[in-house]
Amino acid sequence: MVTALRRISNVFKLRIGVAITLCAIAGMAATPGTSLSPEEIAVLAFAVFLSSASAGAFNQYAERDLDARMHRTRNRPFVTGVFKTGWAWLSCIVGILVFSVALAAWVLNAHVALYVFLGAFFYGVVYTIWLKQRSVWNIVIGGLAGSFAVLAGAAAVTPHLAASSIILALVLFLWTPPHFWSLATVLREDYARAGVPMLPVVVGDATAAWIILAHTVALAGFSLLPVFFGMGYVYLAGAVAGGSYFIIKSVELVREPGPKAARANFRASFVQLGLLLVAAIIDGALNF
């Protein structure tokens, strides 16, 4: 039973789904407008979580041949054959996405439903199918999935997006590349063997480290801007603490480019995002 649950969590990438859901709640909290009922907040979270899960499962379904060529992913259920590919799984994945979009449209509004769909589409199709094995820009454009989650949360409050929520969506867009490029530095040889043009594979660890630092500095800077559009001191504290820590680790990566510092920077990206999102949610609750 435990093994089966782990496989389901792996295929649907439920940990990523939790992070994406927090992005939506933070987008809601950062947006001035009509307050949502607890039931509406639950629907928003559930719809975004299901949409992310469907995109994660489609990613593993579509990439099973690629996953088989990589040490990190060669034991995923679609690779090993524990989960059989076919119409049953595809119908399940599409059904979950359709249900999540329909639920968002029915309980919330069409704008939320559109952003819920676009988040899954950009991760499942734009990133996974079109870009990942073709372009070094794969994760840059594919990273819009997190931004759409923020916009979904904001649109649940008002379809006319506020400046603070748009900036927060931009922050998520800037967060994804240094986060993933740090991981790609750790796994550079794995990606190289599989023929995936991740940034460190294409330009090397040292150049990638400088690009990661530049993105991190831009991310930290933009994360402060919502303070000028209504966010308070709790948000500011989270943005400053998380951004500073991420920059420090990115500087260390520039000084010693390689897997060890990249792994530390990858972890720092989670710290930065976690502090930012939790601070945004708390700040929104205090200003309620």
Higher pLDDT, 143 or 196: 196
pLDDT of residue 76: 92
Distance CA 246, CA 165 (A): 22
Distance CA 284, CA 145 (A): 23
Distance CA 262, CA 252 (A): 9
Query: Which CATH number characterizes residue 81's domain?
Result: 1.10.600
pLDDT digits (tens, 9 = 90+) for 156-183: 999 888 888 899 999 999 999 999 999 9
pLDDT digits (tens, 9 = 90+) for 197-243: 999 999 999 999 999 999 999 999 999 999 998 889 999 999 999 99
Q: What is the mean pLDDT of residues 112-134?
A: 94
Are 257 and 206 in contact by the 8 Å Cβ rule? The answer is yes
pLDDT of residue 288: 63
pLDDT of residue 230: 84
Using pLDDT thresholds of 50, 70 and 90, give the confidence band for residue 1. Answer: low
Which tokens hold the place of 46?
A: 């559930």
Distance CA 88, CA 99 (A): 16
Q: What is the mean pLDDT of residues 100-115?
A: 97
pLDDT digits (tens, 9 = 90+) for 56-91: 999 999 999 999 998 888 899 999 988 888 899 999
Entry pTM: 0.93
Higher pLDDT, 263 or 161: 263
Using pLDDT thresholds of 50, 70 and 90, give the confidence band for residue 9. Answer: confident
Are 115 and 151 in contact by the 8 Å Cβ rule? The answer is yes
Give the total number of structural domains in the chain.
Answer: 1
Sign of torsion over alpha carbons 262, 268, 274, 277: negative
Residue 219: which of 276, 279, 259 has the closest Cα? 276
pLDDT of residue 284: 84
Task: Using the CB atoms, write b or e for 233-259: b if 16+ within 10 Å.
Answer: ebbbebbbebbebbbebbebbbeebeb
Distance CA 124, CA 145 (A): 9
Distance CA 39, CA 269 (A): 31
> Which structural domain, as residue segments, surrounds residue 178?
2-286
Q: What percent of the chain has pLDDT over 90?
A: 75
Q: Which residue has the tokens 């060669």?
A: 74
Among left, alpha and beta (phi > 0; psi -120 to 50; other), residue 31 is: beta
Q: Is 35 exposed, middle or buried (0-12, 13-18, 19+ CB in 10 A)?
A: exposed
pLDDT digits (tens, 9 = 90+) for 18-64: 999 999 999 999 888 778 899 999 999 999 999 999 999 999 999 99
